[in-house]
Structure 1
Amino acid sequence: MPATVVVSQSLFPESIALMRESGLDVVVRDSDEPVGGEGLAAMVADADALLCQLTDAVDESVLAAGPRLRVVATCSAGFDHIDVAAASRHGVAVTNTPGVLHEDTADLTFALILASARRVVEGDAFVRAGRFKRWTLHQEQLGLPVHGARLGIVGMGQIGRAVARRAAHGFGMEVCYHSRTRLPADIERELGVRHLSFEELLGESDVVSLHAPLTPATHHLVDDAALQRMKPTAILVNTSRGPLVDEAALARALGSGQIAGAGLDVYEDEPRVHPDLLALTERVVLLPHLGSATEKTRRQMAEIAATNVVAALTGDVPPNVVNAEAVDVG
């Protein structure tokens, strides 16, 4: 009897075919809406694998409902929506899709930096409203310079490094960073970056860009106290995880002029956005989680997730297990 894979949300057909061609029974829920905890629990009752997405909360109750589960494969690089410790207790491997989205996310980071600093969205709306009558020296959309500015990167993984390369080599920016683990000196020299404490980075940077994972230590990393350390001309960009930022505190800082602007692609209670942020339009750009949203990358993510499932259910070790020490996937 073939092993059964349940797919919680719509997936690209070629990734479904990959699993079926490997002899797996694949059951696909054809919807882009998250099913919710009880729905996921019902889906995994007779499943050997769950292929989920970052909007699916896979907790103890879901894992306990799937006695046959051997792997939970998320079609995302982040896996904070999965209780990894609980999965390990149940002997379930957890896999993700790293290594394919860092360049796209770095591109989008710079889109947000430029859009908020140079007021691109405001300018577009200004033109579409028929308000552009002439060039003037003091026109409404005067912005902040990006070339030559100081960029502070929080979290120096693959995405942070990709952003640093664009900043230093493409925009002549001075790049500093803060990370839980400091980079080796030769990599710092190669990237042209210098390490600072988090507090120093906040105080010195013209743009602060967040690329840290969501952990208990990074939840609300940017709060009232952090925002008070930033320059009044500074911009905050977040393309990592929404809960790194206290959105109420950010809205207050933007509304009072404590900082100059923000570019956000992720939100604390996604897809809900704090209403006070929605009300701000000057130098504030809000995107619907587009970090990895190119056709090529999203298809690669789905293929990797499917490959992880096939490996786990056919006796091989999946290449992207995040709890390998706790789980024997052989």
Structure 2
Amino acid sequence: MTSSKPKILVTRRLPESIEARMATLFETDINEGDVTLTADDIIEGLAGKDVLVSSITDRIDADLVARLPKSVRLIAQFGNGVDNIDVEAAWAAGLTVTNTPSVLTEDTADMAMVLMLALPRRLVEGTQMLVRDGVWAGWSPTSMLGHRLRGKALGIVGMGRIGTAVAQRAKAFGLHIHYFSRNRRPPAIETPLEATYWDDLDAMLGVVDIVSLHTPHTRETFHILSAERLMAMKPGSFVVNVSRPELIDEAALVTQIENGHLSGAALDVFENRHGIDPRLLALAEDNKVVLTAHMASATLEARIEMGETVIVNIRTFMDGHQPPHRLLPEGPRDAGRSQRA
């Protein structure tokens, strides 16, 4: 007997509770090896399937979209970012694309705050000194001196859910909140934070001590911290990025840290398509850069909530309704759209 359940391909292992729930609701095929699948692997695995449950490690470009079996109607991304998906090509092919926003807010904001502390207080350097040397000479009045957070100016680029959550945490640490965003936040948000709105990013960058990025990667935000803007930042300031690597001209960032204009950076995301830039690694070895392994959303709670959101998107779509986290392409959306049966 043919199953009436939706048939899905899940390209990476998910928390056990989510896999169990998917197995109950859907006819589920999971990549047990938990390694990045090739395009051919994905196409083969999708034979007869309705839904592709992708993650950020899957490259779903226009070529792969064109090869997808006609049975596939939904790409349900396990993640907030969709830089790995050609959303325009999927739209033109009649596919629906969803993601898992909102559930990552608190964990990502926590991570941003951890990195803000790690840089000026030299937390990683202090740990490595003990682990590497195995001997501690003892406390000294001039040893491991860092910088105080209280009283410093934090410039947030993108005051959405995550940016606001970061501002709330930073305010508790005594930081002065500045922000640049597409739209000014209402007084109900601004006033408790005593936040200063800037409609000119370049002007804000010249006065803040820490810049924290919390905007999605779009055509408009690609290299929003360009070489020119990095040079225009306040001397001795820091950069924190838990969002997307494409927001920063990474080579220019490295140069500005190397030449001493910037004090350092804390990056949970960075260019890694061809391996981490050796210059960036050298700065990390020199304790001027803190690198973490894309861990901003890496809590069990977040991963489970992401999985539940994927399930909601699939069930809503398969029931004939518009899923709550449907994504649309950035450009015009009426021309060239096909329909899938």
Q: What is the TM-score of this pair, normalised by structure 2?
A: 0.90
Alignment length (residue pairs)? 327
Q: Secondary structure at the match of 1:303?
A: helix
**How big is the shift at 1:246?**
1.6
Match of 2:55 among 53, 70, 87: 53
Q: Which residue of 2 aligns with 1:317?
A: 322
Match of 2:226 among 223, 226, 230: 223
Q: Which residue of 2 aligns with 1:296?
A: 301
Q: Which residue of 1 aligns with 2:163?
A: 160
- 1:200 equivalent to 2:203? Answer yes
Q: Look up the equivalent residue of 1:304 and give its one-letter code.
A: T
Q: Do the aligned residues in 2 keep the contact of 1:245 with 1:268 (CA within 8 Å)? A: no
Alpha-carbon distance in structure 2 between the residues aligned to 1:250 and 1:323: 32
Q: Structure 1 stretch 234-243 or stretch 273-282: which is displaced more?
A: 273-282
Mapping 1:1-330, distance limit 5 Å: 1=2, 2=4, 3-22=6-25, 24-64=26-66, 65-128=68-131, 129-139=133-143, 141-168=144-171, 170-196=172-198, 197-269=200-272, 272-280=275-283, 281-323=286-328
Alpha-carbon distance in structure 2 between the residues aligned to 1:52 and 1:230: 37
**How big is the shift at 1:271?**
7.8
Deviations 1:124-176 (A, max 9, x none): 1112213531322322x2212211210000011111000000111x1111110
Q: Secondary structure at the match of 2:320?
A: coil
Q: Secondary structure at the match of 1:204?
A: coil
Percent of counterpart pairs with the same letter? 37
Q: What is the TM-score of this pair, normalised by structure 1?
A: 0.92
The CA RMSD over aligned residues, in Å, is 2.1
**How big is the shift at 1:277?**
0.8
Alpha-carbon distance in structure 2 between the residues aligned to 1:258 and 1:19: 51
Can you give the 5+ residue segments of structure 1 that lack an aligned partner in the other structure?
A: none
Q: Structure 1 stretch 178-187 or stretch 238-247: which is displaced more?
A: 178-187
Alpha-carbon distance in structure 2 between the residues aligned to 1:254 and 1:238: 15
Q: Secondary structure at the match of 1:289?
A: coil
Deviations 1:290-315 (A, max 9, x none): 00011111111112112212222232
Q: Look up the equivalent residue of 1:130 and give its one-letter code.
A: G
**How big is the shift at 1:58?**
1.4
Q: Secondary structure at the match of 1:124?
A: helix
